[in-house]
Amino acid sequence: MEQRPDSDNLRPSSFRIPSAVSAAACAAALALAACTSMPPPAIPSQLQPAASEALAMIVPAKGVQIYECRASKDGSQYEWVFIAPEAELFDKHGKAIGSHGAGPIWQSSDGSRILGKVRQRADAPAPGAIPWLLLATESTGPQGAFSRVSSIQRINTVGGVAPAAGCSRETAGRSARIGYRADYYFFTSK
C-alpha cells in the first residue's frame, strides 16, 4: 500500500529555511549580480583628479552640444564650431538638480554655480561621442551643493559631435543642436 505524506508536514511552516541559510543565499545572489554588472569605466591617467581630491557626487546630464557653421580663420573653408552645451543635470535618482551651459558653467537648483576650465582631454571610447575631459573649477555663485567642487571629469559620453557635413558658404550662420549624454564626476578637496 502506498504511503501518503501527512498533510500537516506539508504546511509552509515546515519548509522554512533557517535565517542564517537565507542570509547566506542572499549574499551569494548579490555577489553574483555584482560580478555580472558592468565594470566602472577605465579613466585615462591624464583625466585623474588630484590626489588631494575625493569624489563628491556623480551628476548625469542630458542635453545638446550647440555648433554654428562659420568660415575658418583663414576664410578658405567653412566648418562647424562649438558654441556651448545646454543640458539638464540629474541626481542619482533621476531628479533634475540643475543645468549646464555656456562658460562652461554648472548651476545647481539652489543657485550655487561653478565655472570650468579644461585641463586635459581624451578621446571617448565610444565612436561618435564627444571627448572625455578633466576640468578645473571655480565657484562663481552663492554657497550650495556645487560651491565646493574643485574639479570635474566628463566621462561616459554618448553623441554630441559636430555634424560631418552641411556647413558651407550657403549655410554660414546656421546652428546645429546635437543630442548628447554624459556623466559629470564632481570632486572636492579632501
Q: What is the pTM of this model?
A: 0.78
3-class DSSP string for the chain: CCCCCCHHHHCHHHHCCCHHHHHHHHHHHHHHHHHHCCCCCCCCHHHCCCCCEEEEEEEEEEEEEEEEEEECCCCCCEEEEEEEEEEEEECCCCCEEEEEECCCEEEECCCCEEEEEEEEEECCCCCCECCEEEEEEEECCCCCCCCCEEEEEEEEEEEECCCCCCCCHHHCCCEEEEEEEEEEEEEEEC
Q: pLDDT tens digit string along 35-58?
A: 334 456 799 999 999 999 999 999
pLDDT band at 70 (very low <50, low <70, confident <90, very high): very high
Q: Where are the domains of the chain?
A: 53-189
